[in-house]
Structures are given as C-alpha cells and as structure tokens.
Amino acid sequence: MTDIIHITGLDIPELSVYTKLNEKQLLNRDKPEEGLFISESPKVIERALEAGYVPVSFLVETKRFEAEAKDIISKITDAKVYTADESILTELTGFKLTRGMLCAMKRKPLLSPESLLCNAHRVVILENIMNPTNVGALFRSAAALNLDAVILTSNCSNPLYRRAIRVSMGAVFKIPWTIADEELSGGGKLAALCKEHGFCTAAFALDSDTVSVTSPELKKSEKLAFFLGSEGNGLSKATIQNCNFRVKIPIYNDIDSLNVSVAGAIAFYELSGRDT
C-alpha cells in the first residue's frame, strides 16, 4: 500500500532528493545503478511510468492530490507520497511546482548504440550539445517527427535532467535513446559505426561544400543518420569528415545559423522518410 505523508515542515531527510541534490548528484556517475531523476507534472510523470521507469517517491501539492495526482498514485504500491500546502512546497523546492507534482524515479541501464541502430531507419546523433533546453527540444521534435532513436555523445546534457524532461514534454520517454561512452564519442567513431550498420550519414554544418536539406538524394536514403553539433562550435572536424554528406539549411537576411533545436526540427521534417 502506498504511504501518504502530509508534511508541515522541511526537516525530512527523505526530501533531500528534491531539495539538496543537484543534477550531477542525482545522476550518480560513480554508481549509475543508483542514479535518480526528477520528473515534473502529472502528464510527464505518467509518460515515464508508461515507459517503465520506477518511482521512488512523489511530492504533491495537497489541493492537487484529489485531482490529477490521484489516478497516478492509485496505480503505485511501493512509493511514498509526500503532500503539503503550496506555500510549504514553494519554500521546499524554491519554485512553484508545475501542476503541483514531482516524482523521483530510478534511472534505467543505458542501451548500447549498436542495439539502437540495428532496427532503425532514421536516427539522430547529438554531439556535445550542452544546453538541456536544446536537448529537450530536440527529443520532442525527434519523437513528434517519427525518428527511431537518439544517440548522444558523452559530453551532452543528460536527457533526464529536469529541464530537458520538461522542455521535451516527456518525449524523452517516447523514443529510444542512449549515451555513447567517451571512447566512442570522439574522432568520428559514431559516424563510422552508423556506416557499419548501413546508414547514410549527414553532418549538418556551415561548410561551403554542402547539399541542401531538401536534397532528393538524402530523402531517398533507406537509412539516414543525422549529426547535429554543439551550440558554439558545431560538429567536430572528424565527424564531418567521416560523414557521407555535409548538409546545410538555406537561411537568409545575413543570419549565419539557426538554433540547433530549430535546425533539427527542420531536418527531421524534411528527411524523416515517412509519408505525410
């Protein structure tokens, strides 16, 4: 039976996961099997549960408990539920909760990049994208535009950071993803791995020797891997050199580039290979 505990103060050690641990501490790189993440709002929490993530505890605004939260919690048997008035939770977390609900959840073991590539036809590789807002937005676009998987290099912002989850609207739970290890993340090795699995590889770059994102040759590719680089420096030279195509989105009015999440959405729409 789920324990429901109404709190009137902040001195509860079990709540440190919400109040004291930062994203890196939640990730727990030394013991990843014990890693946690925080999911926010009933809709996003429900998507995480549907994807098989295991809840550890919930933090719910009292007035929300009989509304959106009740149906979710009724399905849970072994996680504590803490409730409090809005003023207490705002003081506890430092911000007003989105729709009055947080959930601490266990992370899953990461899949191998090879396992994601085996049965995929459209994948995106994110290289050194550090902003969790951009990561979340890219996941939302990738899921909405029917890509099969996302692979991140080891220096990317983690998709289960709270802000990335929130911006993605839970899309991080809708599409398979993994993080490549440090050795595989550099030197164009991910591009080589995609080629080994039969993918045509497309590096989105500002180089002069490029094809347009509307290229028929790209669109007809049975298996296509998109490579998107960091917000500041773009893709590494090694990755660009190891890709089959260098791809550019035509832009005007002396604007030199697009935000990486916008560029990704355009690329996915143009080249998803799906009937619309």
Q: Give 254-274 pLDDT, tens digit per residue.
A: 888 899 999 999 999 999 875
Among 106, 135, 163, where does a domain finish? 106
Domains identified in the chain, total number: 2
Q: Is residue 89 part of a domain?
A: yes
Q: Is residue 188 part of a domain?
A: yes
Would you call 23 helix, strand, or coil by DSSP? helix
Q: Looking at the structure, do residues 90 and 219 belong to the same domain, yes or no?
A: no
Q: Is residue 192 part of a domain?
A: yes
Cβ atoms of 64 and 102 within 8 Å: the answer is no
Is residue 4 over pLDDT 90? no
Gap between the Cα atoms of 225 and 126, Å rounded: 11
DSSP 171-238: GGGTS-EEE--HHHHSTTHHHHHHHHTT-EEEEE---SS-EETT-HHHHT-SSEEEEE-BTTTBS-HH
Cβ atoms of 50 and 173 within 8 Å: the answer is yes
Is residue 3 over pLDDT 80? no
Identify the DSSP state of 149. E
β partners of residue 150: 124, 177
Q: Looking at the structure, do residues 227 and 125 belong to the same domain, yes or no?
A: yes
Q: Looking at the structure, do residues 98 and 228 belong to the same domain, yes or no?
A: no
pLDDT tier at 93 (50, 70, 90 boundaries)? low
Gap between the Cα atoms of 121 and 118, Å rounded: 9
Q: Looking at the structure, do residues 12 and 63 belong to the same domain, yes or no?
A: yes
Is residue 1 over pLDDT 80? no
Q: Looking at the structure, do residues 120 and 89 belong to the same domain, yes or no?
A: no
And the tokens for 233?
A: 């420096």
The tens digit of pLDDT for each residue in 66-83 reads 777 788 888 887 888 998
Gap between the Cα atoms of 178 and 156, Å rounded: 11
Among 106, 122, 138, where does a domain finish? 106
Is residue 276 over pLDDT 50? no
Q: Looking at the structure, do residues 55 and 90 belong to the same domain, yes or no?
A: yes
- Between 273 and 143, name the one with better pLDDT: 143
Gap between the Cα atoms of 17 and 25, Å rounded: 9
Q: Is residue 50 part of a domain?
A: yes
- Between 194 and 119, name the one with better pLDDT: 194
Q: Is residue 191 part of a domain?
A: yes
Rg (CA), the chain: 21
Q: Looking at the structure, do residues 86 and 135 belong to the same domain, yes or no?
A: no
Q: Is residue 79 part of a domain?
A: yes
Q: Which domain holds residue 227?
A: 113-271
Among 52, 79, 106, where does a domain finish? 106
pLDDT at 19: 81
Q: Looking at the structure, do residues 60 and 135 belong to the same domain, yes or no?
A: no
Average pLDDT, the chain: 90
pLDDT at 273: 72
Q: Is residue 21 part of a domain?
A: yes
Q: Looking at the structure, do residues 172 and 74 belong to the same domain, yes or no?
A: no
Burial profile 74-90: b = 16 or more Cβ within 10 angstroms, e = fewer? eebeebbbbbbeeebbe
Q: Looking at the structure, do residues 13 and 45 belong to the same domain, yes or no?
A: yes
Alpha-carbon distances, residue 161 vs 56, 73, 126, 158 (angstroms)? 16, 23, 16, 6
Give the closest residue to 160 by CA, choosing from 36, 72, 21, 262: 36
Q: Looking at the structure, do residues 101 and 121 belong to the same domain, yes or no?
A: no
Q: Looking at the structure, do residues 76 and 119 belong to the same domain, yes or no?
A: no
Cβ atoms of 205 and 233 within 8 Å: the answer is no
pTM of the model: 0.92
Which CATH number characterizes residue 71's domain? 3.30.1330.30
pLDDT tier at 165 (50, 70, 90 boundaries)? very high
Q: Is residue 276 part of a domain?
A: no
Gap between the Cα atoms of 188 and 239, Å rounded: 4
Alpha-carbon distances, residue 153 vs 1, 6, 7, 65 (angstroms)? 41, 42, 41, 39
Which CATH number characterizes residue 163's domain? 3.40.1280.10
Cβ atoms of 159 and 172 within 8 Å: the answer is yes
